[in-house]
Amino acid sequence: GMHSTLEDVKLESMQVKILPALQDNYMYLIVDNKTREAAVVDPVDPELVIKTVQEANVTLNKVLTTHHHWDHAGGNEKLVKLWEKELEVYGGDDRIGALNKMVRQDDSFTIGSLNVRCLSTPCHTTGHICYHVTAGDGKSEGAVFTGDTSIP
């Protein structure tokens, strides 16, 4: 299928670059505007991720995996190999490649000054995690990264 052209999302605290992957999936590069730290969601096309990170001139140090299916997690190990710095790879399922940060419902961590909260959504597949990213000040709007979960 064709990708619809999606504009990057620019919020006060963060920007989200939307990268097409495979036939009908997207990868997301989340950038904290304050620190220029970044995380990538479901990096199934590692080469495109690296190119985008370099062009954006940001520091990539986290991978957020929504679930283990190959069209979302399939690029993790390759990205970790190609990227010469250490990456924290988050996910809720030990079948996820290169996983080194197992998360559960309500776990939280940061991307620079952004807060990330993990929401477990097992309806699509076991171990499926959505990531809710909000500004550190708690005031501005946030974004939820869902992978394949259908939100009713």
1-27 pLDDT, tens digit each: 555 566 788 888 999 999 988 777 889
Residue 1 in any domain: the answer is: no
Is residue 129 situated within a structural domain? yes
Q: Which residues contact 92 (CB under 8 A, 6 or more apart)?
A: 67, 102, 103, 104, 118, 120, 127, 128, 129
Q: Which residues of 77-105 are buried (b: 16+ CB within 10 A; e: fewer)?
A: ebbbeebeeebebbbbbeebbbbeeebee
Residue 117 lies in a domain: yes
Domain that residue 85 falls in: 9-145
List per-block mean pLDDT (blocks of 10 residues) for the chain, which spans 152 residues. Answer: 66 90 86 97 96 96 93 93 95 95 96 95 78 84 75 44
Per the DSSP assignment, residues forming a β-bridge with 10 are 15
Q: Which helix (H) or strand (E) holds 120?
A: strand 114-120
Domain of 45: which CATH number? 3.60.15.10
- Report the number of distinct structural domains present in the chain: 1
pTM score over 0.95: no
